[in-house]
Amino acid sequence: MVYSLTANETLTKLDFPVTLTFCRKIEVFCMVRVQLAELLQFTEACLTQAGASAEVAKAMAHSLVQGDLLGFRTHGVRRLPYNVKQLQAGRMKGSGEPQILRRRAAIETWDAESLSGLYVAPLAVQRAMSMARTAGTGTVVVKRCEHVASLAAYLQQATDQGLLITMMAATPAQASVAPHGARSPVFSPNPYGMGVPTRGAPILLDMSFSMTAAGKVRQAYDRNERLPWPAIVSGSGEITDNPADYIDGNGAILPLGGADLGYKGYGLCLMSEIFTLGLSNYGRLQGAHDGEMNTLYVQVTDPEAFGTRDDFLAVTDDLLNRCRKAAAIDPSEPVRIPGERALALAEEQQRTGVLLDELTWPRLQHLAKKLGMEIPTV
């Protein structure tokens, strides 16, 4: 929500009053809260109106909103207008099933034929889980699904059933991340997700193999901010924290490890694209002009196939306890378990409403107007 104040005016709509005294004009950007059920309903309705079947729209809405719940705001309902546009333009299929191209005891290859990744990813996780239960591991590689948004949104489907999951995604038409030692990009901003069941809350990891994610560079650019650390190599080879060097210039995002250890992030980027684009036979030779079309790699592992459930959980919980008890560099910031903050945020937002920021809310308002839909109350 954006409020405009002029001199001496008092804004009373916030939790605390704001009066403008020292300057002429200010804009106050505030997050708005929308009740979860309302946001889901709105998202689903927009997708249905744009041409998705009821089943597809429901799954897509769930995947997007789950991203917001866990705090991945660059990959939540901010991407709803994009999905509506793709459906309306016929570039994304609104109904149907992915085609199974290959099948073995522990693997399947699918062609999503431009169905949304938001719809196909939960199906792939389900299938990988089922294979893992019998073969020990189950792997599904899905090519040509529209953008999957945040991998974190899909992990609990497996961890809730006591299963380990890893996920990767790549976009053959995108080049954002440079190989180590280069100043021009080759890799798409490949995310890596992992979910681990424990006796308590699951471990949820969703990260990129680069110094930052492309969505965060775009966000810093839109907000006219610098990045929190040098994550960009400019077109002329300088290491910089200026998002414009990437968005406007010919620069690239650095691989994880930066100037010294970037060969590690580079190696992990190669790994990601080989297991996604390579295995699915859908690389830049095939998909260089396919916009945000993804290949998705899902692998589920059943700890009970390898040993006992109790011992797996005991070893994992012991490891997490050692992390929690490690001496903190800053005593006011104890070591956190990946996913801890995301799950607390999800719990809070489920109760009090989903937070939408100043880059998301106006886009939803605009979308509602265009589609003639009623916008959720805030």
Residues of this chain, 198-227, that bind a second copy according to CB under 8 A: 203, 205, 207, 209, 211
Residues 224-243 that bind a second copy (CB under 8 A): 228-229, 233, 237
Provide the minimum distance between the beta carbon of 204 and a second copy in the complex, in angstroms, as a whole number.
10
Q: Of residues 43, 63, 83, 137, which one binds a second copy by CB under 8 A?
A: 137
Give the relative orientation of helices 36-49 and 54-69 as an angle to the nearest 10 degrees.
Answer: 140
Complex with a second copy: residue 34 or 256, whichever CB lies closer: 256
Position among 74, 86, 116, 166 found at the interface with a second copy (CB under 8 A): 166
Q: Is 109 in the site for a second copy (CB under 8 A)?
A: yes
CA–CA separation, 67 vs 77, rounded Å?
A: 8
What is the spatial distance between Cα 261 and Cα 337, in angstroms, rounded to a whole number? 24
The answer to whether 146 contacts a second copy (rule: CB under 8 A) is no
Closest CB to a second copy among residues 47, 169:
169
**3-state SS assignment for residue 30:** coil
Closest by CA to 83, choosing from 110, 47, 112, 45, is 47
The reply to whether 139 sits near a second copy by the rule CB under 8 A is: yes
Q: Is 51 left (phi over 0), alpha (psi -120 to 50) or beta?
A: left
Residue 3, burial from CB neighbour count under 10 angstroms (0-12, 13-18, 19+): middle
Under the binding rule (CB under 8 A), the answer on residue 273 touching a second copy is: yes
Q: Per rule CB under 8 A, is residue 188 in the interface with a second copy?
A: no
Nearer to a second copy, 74 or 299 (CB): 299
Residue type, 66: Q
Interface with a second copy, residue 272, by CB under 8 A: no
Q: Which residue reads 């399947």 in tokens? A: 108
Could you tell me the CA-to-CA distances from 174 to 105, 112, 190, 316, 360 in Å, in that order? 33, 19, 10, 37, 23
3-state secondary structure of 191: strand
Contacting residue, 51, 71, 117, 185, with a second copy by CB under 8 A: 185
Does residue 46 bind a second copy (CB under 8 A)? no
State which of positions 319-358 bind a second copy (CB under 8 A): 319, 322-323, 326-330, 333-336, 338
Q: By the 8 A CB rule, do 148 and 117 touch? A: yes
Per the DSSP assignment, residues forming a β-bridge with 227 are: none
Closest to a second copy by CB, 54 vs 326, is 326
| Backbone phi, psi, residue 86, to 5° | -65, -40
Which of 124, 142, 168, 194 binds a second copy (CB under 8 A)? It is 194
SS3 173: coil
Exactly one of 25, 315, 370, 374 binds a second copy (CB under 8 A); which one? 315
Binding residue (CB under 8 A) for a second copy from 191, 257, 353, 376: 257
Q: Mark 242-265 as b/e (b = at least 16 C-beta within 10 Å).
A: bbbbbeeeebbbbbbbbeeebeeb
Applying CB under 8 A, among 308, 350, 352, 377 the residue interacting with a second copy is 308
The count of chain residues that interact with a second copy, using the rule CB under 8 A, is: 86
1 binds a second copy (CB under 8 A): no
Q: How far is the CB of 167 from a second copy (least distance, A)?
A: 12
Stretch that binds a second copy, among 90-98, 102-110, 150-158, 370-378 (CB under 8 A): 102-110
Length of the chain: 378
